[in-house]
Amino acid sequence: MDCNEVLELISSAVDERLEKDTLKNFYQHTNVCKICRNVFELESITKKFIQTRVQPIRTPDYLADRLISQIKNSAESRSSYKINSILSLILQWRKWYVAIPAIAAIGLYFIIFSPPAHHYHTSPVDNNIIHQIYNNYDAVVDGKIKPTLTTDDPSVLENYLKENVNYNVNIPKLRDCVLVGGTVSQFDEEKLSHIIYKHGDCIIYFSLIDFRVVVGNRSITLPQKAIDELVRTGWYYADDHKCCSVILWLKDSTLYIAAAEMEKDKLMAYAKEGNKNNINDSKSIDNVFTLKNVTHKNDHSLDFEWDNNSGNANNFKSFHSKLTIINFWATWCGPCRKELPDLVAISNEFATKGVRVIGISTDRGSNVVADVSEFINKNKVTYPIVIDNGELAKAFGNVRGIPTTFLVNEEGKVVESFMGLRTKEFFVEKINRLLQ
């Protein structure tokens, strides 16, 4: 077997498609011919690198047909003169022997050190928040979701998001990552926060939403197994697409979701780091609101609006779920303070069943917002607190003593009320009966 024959068979040898006898003759030649051996080894190395660095995709039918047709035409028309001419160039000019490895090395450099291509996830476009996160990640990579606010300062972005959403926001602070910025979008009537970090060429995307909205609203959903795991452990890992990790976790009443094209353990490390090292070192909870107005309806139900003094308003109609516990209280009230831990526990434990808690503070004073905020931060009250100016107590039938609690059904109507301190067991019994 001569050099011409060996060079014709190199690709087949690399692909392991030579018959046993032919392969034996092939290796006998390459063992003694340095040029042919180097060309064979170079093609073998090139193939291995390409296989490990380039994601294979299916060739479109029209392109495959065209390639096959051209190969057939070329095979039929080529002459032995053309083949011999090309091979003679390789064998005659030894500079080709140096040039081929150099050119291949340059190609391999770009294969090895170029960032891997982005994998599109093509998740269903539906109400499932996890599917939305995969699609949102693709949109961020493609530049379709862009930061409204571009900043590398987490505190600036956090203030911006707090002014535009009505749930707790703590920006994750990630080591060795650069904050790009963030934005807010709206799905149905609910607002989602988007935060974008970069680690080298890799984008780490965060989305935030009120967890109580996800479990109590049909417009945005979450698989039940994810809800159960979040309630049980505070964490959940979605593995819908192996090329992209998605991790969910709870902090206070906010659901945080992180997505990145990196290994699960690495993204989990970033998520836990961000959960621990958020920029809000004071651990304050921004969920104290002031009453805006009260509306009486013709069906004897009522609605009321509250505002967090940042131009961010919400109303009871959009807040309430299957069952809402409205608790009138004050920071100076001993029985109220004793009752708070049970209400916090009920708010957390029954969130997945569509139960919500809202506290109505009857405190007064020139610094009432700051005083109530300090109190609930100290006592880790995670459900929203609305500071009443007297109108809400009057609308609920002239509340005469505190604590007073009202249970409101899905239609917004009061189904039960009671004045005085109640235990957690009392509330649980009432909730289970009304949810049946």
Walk me through the domains of the chain, giving residue ranges and CATH numbers: 3-113 (no CATH), 129-276 (3.30.200.100), 288-435 (3.40.30.10)
Q: What was the pLDDT predicted at 430? A: 92
Pairing between β-strand 385-387 and β-strand 288-296 as defined by DSSP bridges: parallel
* Exposed / middle / buried, residue 279 (Cβ in 10 Å: 0-12, 13-18, 19+): middle
CA distance 161 to 194: 9
Matching residue, tokens 């921004």: 286
Q: What was the pLDDT predicted at 201? A: 82
Residue of 363, 203, 343 whose CA lies nearest to 270: 203
CA distance 247 to 249: 7
DSSP 415: E
Residue 90 banded pLDDT, cuts 50, 70, 90:
very low
Adjacent-strand bridge partners of 178: 198
Average of pLDDT values for 102-108? 52
Residue 127 has pLDDT above 70, yes or no: yes
**Under a CB-based contact definition with an 8 Å cutoff, are residues 264 and 245 in contact?**
yes
DSSP 331: T
CA separation (Å) from 30 to 14, 125, 319? Answer: 13, 56, 77
Q: Is the peptide bond preceding residue 384 cis, with omega within 30 degrees of 0? A: no
DSSP 396: T
Average of pLDDT values for 13-28? 81
CA distance 278 to 182: 16
**Under a CB-based contact definition with an 8 Å cutoff, are residues 328 and 391 in contact?**
no
Lowest mean pLDDT among 11-15, 280-284, 367-371: 280-284
Task: Report pLDDT digits (tens) over 206-262.
Answer: 999 988 777 765 678 888 888 888 877 788 998 777 778 899 988 767 889 999 988
CA distance 244 to 134: 8
CA distance 271 to 256: 9
Alpha-carbon torsion, ordered 197, 198, 204, 208, to 10 deg: 10
* Terminal Cα-to-Cα distance of the chain (whole angstroms): 86
**Under a CB-based contact definition with an 8 Å cutoff, are residues 268 and 247 in contact?**
yes
Residue 396 banded pLDDT, cuts 50, 70, 90:
confident
Helices (H) and strands (E) in the chain, counts: 16, 15
The pTM of this model reads 0.46
Task: Report pLDDT digits (tens) over 174-216.
Answer: 877 889 999 999 887 788 999 999 988 889 999 999 887 777 6
Matching residue, tokens 């051996």: 37
